[in-house]
């Protein structure tokens, strides 16, 4: 199964501060999925650099 996450920053564009604050509190929001995507990308990139260094 693929780990791809199909959420982009365009999904958050145009939201007000209060809407972003609501999404920050909700663990199932687009903002939370973007955070998960960011952490996953960093983890994958770190793993790739470790492989090339060895």
Q: What is the pLDDT of residue 43?
A: 92
Report if pTM > 0.85: no
What's the CA gap between 5 and 54, in Å, rounded? Answer: 29
Query: Where residue 1 falls among pLDDT bands split at 50, 70, 90?
Result: very low
Under 8 Å between Cβ of 31 and 12:
yes
Does the pLDDT value for residue 7 go beyond 60? Answer: yes
pLDDT in tens, 24-51: 999 999 899 899 989 999 998 999 888 7
Distance (Å) of CA 47 to CA 7, 36, 54: 23, 17, 11
């Amino acid at each position: 199964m693929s780990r791809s996450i199909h959420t982009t920053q365009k999904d958050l564009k145009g939201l007000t501060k209060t809407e972003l604050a609501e999404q920050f509190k909700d663990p199932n929001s687009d903002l939370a999925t973007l955070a998960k995507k960011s952490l996953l990308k960093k983890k994958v990139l770190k793993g790739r650099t470790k492989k090339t260094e060895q």
